[in-house]
Structure 1
Amino acid sequence: MKISLLSLFFLCFSIVAIAQTATLSGKITHNSGQPMDGATVIIKELNRSTMTDDKGRYEFKDVKYGSYTLLISSVVSEKKTQNINIDSPSIVFNIKVKENVTRDLQEVSIAGKTEKRKMETSGFAMSIIETKEASLRNLTTNELLDRAVGVRVRQNGGEGSPIEYNLNGMSGSTIGLFLDGIEISTYGSSFNLNNIPPSMIERIEVYKGVLPSHLSGNYIGGAINVIMKKDASANNITAAVSYGSFNTYRADVSALYRNQKNGFTARASGFYSHSDNNYEMWGKFSKYTLPGGRIVRNYRTKRPNDEFETIGGRFEAGFTNVKWADQFFIGYNISDSYKQIPHGITMTKPYFGRFNEYQAHVLSLNYNKNNFLLDGLALTVNAVHSRRSTYLEDTVSLKYNWDGTLLVKNSEGPPETYGYSPGMGQQGVAVMSNIERKISNIRSNLAYTIVSGHRVSLNHKFEQSDRNDQDLLIPERSKWITLNGLTTNIFAMNYEAELLNGKLKTNIFGKYAIYKTDQQRTISELNGLLNYQNTSTTRDNKGFGGTLSYEAIRNGFLILSAEKSFIMPTDRHIYGEPENNLLANPNILPELAINYNLGGRYNFNTTNQHKFSLYGNAFWRNGYDKIIQQTRVDPVIEGRENQVEDIQVTQFVNLSKTQSIGFEAEFN
């Protein structure tokens, strides 16, 4: 218990002050008597809140005598308001919450919906992944996602290897990954979904195809939006440690604190992961070169030079449920990772001594307020500024076998290795480079409820990235490297309506994007002064679409969505990533897509304890100038141009036209 300085002063002089305070406790249950786990209980006048445990119990201490209003809310039932009078030292107040049931003269009908049900029947082809079970088990966020219908998470290799998310056949740059509505790429490659423990996640929203306007961006295949827990009603600390094969271990910890009196809230989390990734491998590309040059294929050996290590922390402080903000947080993220590179795009030859390091420093601001300035107006602002660096080193020129032994040139006599080759590395010319990126990302949403069931929203996304490539091996060359910048502005507007007593829901939206690239190229040097050439290119695109949800029968919904959208090339598409063997393509074009989704959802409510749902969705996607990652067909080794195994680099290019048709279904 906190004791004020004034109280200490009085205690020193043996003066006793008696305050009329009480302990308020109780149990919240459904009509069926089942305890309500995870419900939020708020004392409105005191702006104090808490959360029920798995038995439905809640408790407030040091509540002054008086009359108060209790607000009870949960994602699995409707909200309830209850008046209470505190007039004795201990009050036990049990509350039963109605399960959204209204009665008329003839029947009992479900009138309310949980937040999950509302989102899944809003007209978008989407699903909600709940994390309650995963938070109690040793599951990563990616493992949780991979269990969802229509979602596939692919990782090429062990820990630290690139991860690709696939939604109904769409993957790569067509899929958006968000953390509370902000692209997770802003936080740097050393911070990803696997670094976020499920215990810190409230829910995961998976959109397949058409996206709501508040997630407007360069995505046409869908998006994964991870919503972090915002309820700060209960102070807590969680931690997890795991160990697995190949010397793999993970650890994460998170903590939350809220001062119930003034609303001050602090959240912190940290993670650490390590793996040697030294699993056994064999196959066409796993080969052993005998002395003299003879090659033995399908050579079994442990995978070498593939160690991965990452560490990071996330800190946030602010206020929740205060008069001027529902949520206000200022945050700082830091992450660092080390990744050895065992080979190029294919396993043509082993690399030893080639590695990269990533580091990111991220400042963030989150503000949310309902009834902002006037009733019905809501403002949400998410802003992130990051400084990221990517270091790549490859200066070892020796030649190795997959087992780490040096190649021997001669088959007879004393072994003779190839030795060092000045100026060379494992993958061609020696490299020691660093890429500095400064990225600002601001998303803002202003929504106004005109009348009940009619809402209009304005959305704006601003993103600016500045990239500075540095040659650390020969610094003199850095001044001849082109400086690159990219600025994107996306404006979106949507109108939502509920008609026919809420049976029909529509959402019409449009967006307009302006995309600008800037380059500063050094063209000459005279008397120590550099002459630059500045070039800028501006493109714009328009998109529009809509969704419809109709409750054709009780608990049965018809869901339709359609969209014409686009993908504007990103920093990665245009300027490449040397550390990942990705070449630049400054001439890449935007991708256009037309998407259609038609589906349905039916909920079987047999009893309060047993509920089932059936979901199905058909999709048809058409892409034009589709952006894909393609291996380069340029010769890598002279005289062996046609051997695919020698390809070491990739590049983003445009395909003229693509089409994807499919169907998905789920029963749970």
Structure 2
Amino acid sequence: MVKDQRGEPLAGASVSISKLDLHEITNEKGEFTLSVPRRSSYAVSARHIGFVEVSRTVAFGDLSQPLVLTLKDDPKQLSEVQVTGRTETQEARLQPIKAEVINTRAVQEQPSTLVELMNRSAGIRIRQTGGLGSNAGLMMNGFQDRAIKNFKDGIPMDYLGAGYNIGLVPVNMLERVEVYKGVLPTNLGADALGGAVNLVTKKSLYRYAEASYEIASFNTHRASLNGLYTDTTRHFFIGGDAFVNRSDNNYKVDVTVTDHETAARRDATVRLFHNQFTNYYAEAYGGLTGKRWADELRVGVTWFRINRQNQYGSSMSQPFGAALSRQYSVIPTLRYRKAFNRLSLDQFLTVSNIHTQQVDTARGTYDWFGKFIPSPSRQGEITATGSLSDITFFYFTSRTHVGYRFNDVHKAEINVVSTNIGRDGNDPRGLKLPQTGQDILSLPAKYYKLVGAAGLQSVFWDEKLTNHLIAKYYYYNTSTINVDVYGSALGEHRYTSDGSFGIAEALKLAVTPSTFFRVSAEVATRLPEQDEMFGDGNFHRSNFLLKPEKSVNINAGFRTEKRNAYNLEINAFYRITRDLILKMPIDFLFTQNQNVSNVKGLGLETDLNVNLTRWLRANGNFTYQDFRVFDTGNRLTEDARLRNTPYFFANLGLNANITRMPGKGRLQLYYYFTFVREYYLDYIPKSLEPDGFLGLWGKAKFEAPNIIPSQALHSLGFTYHPVNDRFSVGFQAKNIFNTNVYDNFRIQNAGRSLHLKVNYTLK
């Protein structure tokens, strides 16, 4: 035990046996434990800020009794010590590899979704196919969907299926979100072209529990609970995270309806009636930290379940009123981390079975008013044959990261991600092989992917110049039965494999500690994902003819800041991509990933944050990107904008903190504005684009549903802490002018909505 002169225990004192390189920090009771080998005696020392260091030689035989070390006050201690440094969030922003860091802790009391937070950032658009729980696709710097990889604490999230994603996870669960644009760090090491999103969960060495509950329009309820317990030695921990999302999603939409008697078509505004979504997620984990053989050994198990009513398919051309889909899984995980003198190791393993079901057995169809039209010849409403599919996806994922620091200048890293996936299932109403009549889902479908990365980090000129050089290797193979574009079984066994290399370079030059330039370039490959090839067993069709997409990416940026005043960042990017994998609508109901032969373009994004006063802060950003297809062999589509892709969007925000409230209360007020310029669902000739500068104003020279109109959204809200930071009440009015919101594939999202959220933290 370590005490002061008055006999009070000293928490946070450092106790060490230097010759054995043993160190320990005392707990709140001033206690410590050191395991030592059998020797004659030891020199044990203890120190603490504000006290004189003490050292004592202790015989091994005396260790059977508790050792008490008393520290005297240091008369020469400083009256005030000011320590300055950077948080992990600040450090991530300053790396040579461009990263947009979203500090979720700063907004966790707001009733905002992670999708909304990311959409307020420069260069990022999350497109959803409807309300809460709908598919969320990320678009960033000209790339979209699976070209941008998703990670949880540095691990690819594919093994979690749809149970944990940017559209569902509450911001309360996260420390921050790291969005990498272009080149990825070696430790992520995935086959991404456009970048990656890394969801960093909360880390703590202390015990805590947090709970939140949100109620909102459209019978929406969101709840989260997370907590952590550590013992007094901080060598053992156990914790859990859980959340629930539920919504009827019964907002109003503008659709085209058909009169059953006259077959006349007209426009109408209706309320969605079969769009309910519910998901449950729970993760329990525990392990050991600070051991001689492990910095962290963590074992976890995750359970999730999703229940979804399907109101429409890939577009709002046809309504459904009975079709359902489900997904559920139980997933164990293991992670081991250890840093030696110069060597570090991080190993992650998981194996999981993800079950997906679709039920489509209505013998007829529904109209947009919820009326059922019987049709005895039909066995389903989505397709004439219906569906009772039950599919299991088998995952085995291994991620190994090894780092070695040669000296203060150079550090080498190797990262290997191996993924093995299989599919098995059945559907008594599904596709059959034409030769044998065998259920196509019951046939083996296998997918294997390996992505390796080796990197060298170097710093020069007193850390003014930083360089990352990364080499990558990509390999995949797949084996299954081929299916044509409309889902017909061809009976042809298909085996595909491909391997290639890539290289990336990222350079940062610091002019001052707060001003720097950075540039990065990459030659990269993106392998087709298993769900892009196999489909999802729901509205996404398989395509086993997909080819890997290959791209050359260049990024250049500048950042400067003045502490407590402003920060400004400008970033430009260029892409040229072959065989880009793009999700496209098929028959108005389904989607399918297909290759787009040649795409190139450039873009510019800016981001500015200004502290207007001590209590008022403003921020704004805009993104312009001009991506076009070329060498199409078609005069009408040559040099056309990439379909279904916004090319200009901007954000503004104001945040006010008012601390002079009654009692110890604190109030935060905020306002957000988002603008998205009109873009086009399909390719249009360049001659039909608006004549205004860069297409930023004016009208397209045609009128058709092919146009996704310009959108301007306003939101207002406040967060109130009545006593302290442990309890808060947040309110937000979203889309306060009830503007029509259209998103991916021109699907209409919710209009005005009101949200109320309460948070409580027990530390």
TM-score range relative to shorter protein: 0.7 to 0.9
Number of the residue aligned with 2:581: 627
Shift in CA distance, 115/340, structure 1 to aligned 2, threshold 3 Å: closer
5 Å-filtered alignment, 1:233-244, equals 233-244=205-216
**Offset from partner CA, 1:272-324 (integer Å, 9 cap, x none):** 111111112223x3x1424x243342222211211111112011110122222
Shift in CA distance, 612/184, structure 1 to aligned 2, threshold 3 Å: same
Shift in CA distance, 434/499, structure 1 to aligned 2, threshold 3 Å: same
Shift in CA distance, 540/189, structure 1 to aligned 2, threshold 3 Å: same
1:23 aligns with 2:9: yes
Q: Do the aligned partners of 1:23 and 1:90 also contact (CA within 8 Å) in 2?
A: no
Shift in CA distance, 305/91, structure 1 to aligned 2, threshold 3 Å: farther
Long gaps (5+) in structure 1: 1-19, 26-40, 51-58, 72-79, 101-111, 408-417, 523-531, 633-645
Shift in CA distance, 94/321, structure 1 to aligned 2, threshold 3 Å: farther
Question: Secondary structure of 2:10's match?
Answer: strand
Amino acid at match of 1:224: V
Shift in CA distance, 330/84, structure 1 to aligned 2, threshold 3 Å: farther
Provide the rounded CA distance (Å) in 2 between the counterparts of 1:507 and 1:64: 41
Q: Do the aligned partners of 1:278 and 1:303 also contact (CA within 8 Å) in 2?
A: yes
Match of 2:554 among 596, 603, 611: 596
Amino acid at match of 2:291: V
Shift in CA distance, 353/489, structure 1 to aligned 2, threshold 3 Å: same
Q: CA deviation at 1:200?
A: 3.0
1:376 aligns with 2:342: yes
Number of the residue aligned with 2:136: 163
Provide the rounded CA distance (Å) in 1 between the counterparts of 2:394 and 2:197: 24
Q: CA deviation at 1:586?
A: 1.1
Question: Secondary structure of 1:420's match?
Answer: coil
Q: Do the aligned partners of 2:133 and 2:168 also contact (CA within 8 Å) in 1?
A: no
Q: CA deviation at 1:424?
A: 4.0
Q: Do the aligned partners of 2:174 and 2:200 also contact (CA within 8 Å) in 1?
A: yes
Number of the residue aligned with 2:735: none
Number of the residue aligned with 1:321: 290
Q: CA deviation at 1:490?
A: 1.5
5 Å-filtered alignment, 1:68-79, equals 68-69=46-47
1:130 aligns with 2:106: no
Number of the residue aligned with 1:353: 322
Provide the rounded CA distance (Å) in 1 between the counterparts of 2:48 and 2:160: 39
**Offset from partner CA, 1:393-425 (integer Å, 9 cap, x none):** 101022322111234xxxxxxxxxx44325344
Provide the rounded CA distance (Å) in 2 between the counterparts of 1:139 and 1:48: 41
Provide the rounded CA distance (Å) in 2 between the counterparts of 1:653 and 1:461: 25
Provide the rounded CA distance (Å) in 2 between the counterparts of 1:81 and 1:471: 73
Shift in CA distance, 258/502, structure 1 to aligned 2, threshold 3 Å: same
Q: Do the aligned partners of 1:438 and 1:465 also contact (CA within 8 Å) in 2?
A: yes
**Offset from partner CA, 1:26-77 (integer Å, 9 cap, x none):** xxxxxxxxxxxxxxx6745597769xxxxxxxx8225379953459xxxxxx
Amino acid at match of 1:549: K
**Comparing both chains, which one has the higher relative contact order based on Cα–Cα distances under 8 Å and sequence gaps of 6 or more?**
2
Q: Do the aligned partners of 2:24 and 2:32 also contact (CA within 8 Å) in 1?
A: no
Shift in CA distance, 142/576, structure 1 to aligned 2, threshold 3 Å: same
Number of the residue aligned with 2:252: 280
**Identity over aligned residues, as a percent?**
25
Number of the residue aligned with 1:440: 396
Q: Do the aligned partners of 1:496 and 1:508 also contact (CA within 8 Å) in 2?
A: yes
Question: Secondary structure of 2:146's match?
Answer: helix
Q: CA deviation at 1:196?
A: 3.1
Provide the rounded CA distance (Å) in 2 between the counterparts of 1:487 and 1:136: 41
Q: CA deviation at 1:24?
A: 3.0
Q: CA deviation at 1:578?
A: 3.3
Number of the residue aligned with 2:263: 294
Number of the residue aligned with 2:152: 179
Shifted more, 339-348 versus 420-429: the winner is 420-429
Match of 2:203 among 219, 230, 238: 230
Shifted more, 144-153 versus 192-201: the winner is 192-201
Q: Do the aligned partners of 2:54 and 2:69 also contact (CA within 8 Å) in 1?
A: no
**Offset from partner CA, 1:88-128 (integer Å, 9 cap, x none):** 7999999955445xxxxxxxxxxx65544443232111122
Number of the residue aligned with 1:8: none
Number of the residue aligned with 1:189: 162
1:249 aligns with 2:221: yes
Q: CA deviation at 1:87?
A: 6.0
Number of the residue aligned with 2:545: 587
Number of the residue aligned with 1:450: 406
Amino acid at match of 2:559: R
Provide the rounded CA distance (Å) in 2 between the counterparts of 1:546 and 1:258: 41
Q: Do the aligned partners of 2:360 and 2:382 also contact (CA within 8 Å) in 1?
A: yes
Question: Secondary structure of 1:587's match?
Answer: coil
Match of 2:29 among 34, 40, 61: 61
Q: Work out the number of aligned pairs and report it.
A: 563
Provide the rounded CA distance (Å) in 2 between the counterparts of 1:307 and 1:420: 27
Question: Secondary structure of 2:116's match?
Answer: helix
Q: Do the aligned partners of 1:363 and 1:384 also contact (CA within 8 Å) in 2?
A: yes
Shift in CA distance, 176/49, structure 1 to aligned 2, threshold 3 Å: farther
Number of the residue aligned with 1:103: none
Number of the residue aligned with 2:460: 499
Provide the rounded CA distance (Å) in 2 between the counterparts of 1:396 and 1:431: 10
1:559 aligns with 2:490: no
**Offset from partner CA, 1:631-657 (integer Å, 9 cap, x none):** 23xxxxxxxxxxxxx622222111111
Provide the rounded CA distance (Å) in 2 between the counterparts of 1:64 and 1:481: 59
Match of 1:470 among 420, 426, 437: 426
C-alpha root-mean-square deviation of aligned residues, in Å? Answer: 3.1
Q: CA deviation at 1:150?
A: 1.8
Q: Do the aligned partners of 2:425 and 2:441 also contact (CA within 8 Å) in 1?
A: no
Q: Do the aligned partners of 1:351 and 1:427 also contact (CA within 8 Å) in 2?
A: no
Shift in CA distance, 507/303, structure 1 to aligned 2, threshold 3 Å: same
Shift in CA distance, 261/520, structure 1 to aligned 2, threshold 3 Å: same
1:613 aligns with 2:567: yes
Shifted more, 333-342 versus 650-659: the winner is 650-659
**Offset from partner CA, 1:459-509 (integer Å, 9 cap, x none):** 111011011131245898437743211111122111111111211111111
Q: CA deviation at 1:587?
A: 1.3
Provide the rounded CA distance (Å) in 2 between the counterparts of 1:627 and 1:211: 19
Q: CA deviation at 1:171?
A: 1.2
Number of the residue aligned with 2:504: 545
Q: CA deviation at 1:82?
A: 9.6
Question: Secondary structure of 2:406's match?
Answer: strand
Amino acid at match of 1:377: L
**Offset from partner CA, 1:612-668 (integer Å, 9 cap, x none):** 322111111111111111223xxxxxxxxxxxxx62222211111111311111222
Number of the residue aligned with 1:461: 417
1:145 aligns with 2:118: yes
Number of the residue aligned with 2:179: 206
Number of the residue aligned with 1:659: 600
Shift in CA distance, 96/224, structure 1 to aligned 2, threshold 3 Å: farther
Number of the residue aligned with 1:421: 377
Number of the residue aligned with 1:649: 590
Q: CA deviation at 1:164?
A: 1.5
Match of 1:403 among 357, 366, 369: 369
